[in-house]
């Protein structure tokens, strides 16, 4: 290997983006390092703009604790259908088929409410309760985690 070959090798390695290349031949050992081994990350923090807040008369103010309490009481009367597996959530069996359920749909035990694809297997998720779908908590064709809430059902 002559000097011109070594120079061409250095140019090639620097253009490739590799940080280190080692080459061992019969009579030659070459190690080429480009740049530094450390990578720096720059974080830019930008302050959110401050919006003007209208002044509200005291009789219209509702304490936050009461609002949170009411929301939790409302949610507690519903039953949550959760994902039994990790995968991709689908609301229909194929793009040209109708949705399994919509908000307002009445479901029974063992009705299919969605499909979760995991490792190229399509798993039908069946309801374990009867009731009315109140809210769909996941967008179609999005990833879901194990035990992630999918639907809120009013069992009454």
Q: Which residue has the higher pLDDT, 56 or 88?
A: 88
Q: Is 56 helix (H, G, I), strand (E, B) or coil?
A: coil
Q: Is 25 inside any structural domain? A: yes
**Mean pLDDT score of the chain:** 78
Is 58 within the bounds of a domain? no
- Model confidence pTM above 0.95: no
Q: Dump pLDDT digits (tens) for 39-51.
A: 444 444 445 555 5
Scanning the chain, the segments in alpha helix (DSSP H) are 3-16, 64-76
**Could you tell me the residue range of the domain that residue 134 belongs to?**
77-154
Residue 150, CB-side half-sphere exposure with 13 Å CA sphere = 29
**Model confidence at 8: pLDDT above 50:** yes
Is the pLDDT score of 82 beyond 70?
yes
Q: Are both 85 and 150 inside the same structural domain?
A: yes
Q: How many domains does the chain have?
A: 2
111 in any annotated domain: yes
The pLDDT tens digits of the residues spanning 116-154 come to 999 989 999 999 999 999 999 999 999 999 999 999 999
Q: With respect to residue 46, please indicate whether it lies within any of the assigned structural domains.
A: no
């Amino acid at each position: 290997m002559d000097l011109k070959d070594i120079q061409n090798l250095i140019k090639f390695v620097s253009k490739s983006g590799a940080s280190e290349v080692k080459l061992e031949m019969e009579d030659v050992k070459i190690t080429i390092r480009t740049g530094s081994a450390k990578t720096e990350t720059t974080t830019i923090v930008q302050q959110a703009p401050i919006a003007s807040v209208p002044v509200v008369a005291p009789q219209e103010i509702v304490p936050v604790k009461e609002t949170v309490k009411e929301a939790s009481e409302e949610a507690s009367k519903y039953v949550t259908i959760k994902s039994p597996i990790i995968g991709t959530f689908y609301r229909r069996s194929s793009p040209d088929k109708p949705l399994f359920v919509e908000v307002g749909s009445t479901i029974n035990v063992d009705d299919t409410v969605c499909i979760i694809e995991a490792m190229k297997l399509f798993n039908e998720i069946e309801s374990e309760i009867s009731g009315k779908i109140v809210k769909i908590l996941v967008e179609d064709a999005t990833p879901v985690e194990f035990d992630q809430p999918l639907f809120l059902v009013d069992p009454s």
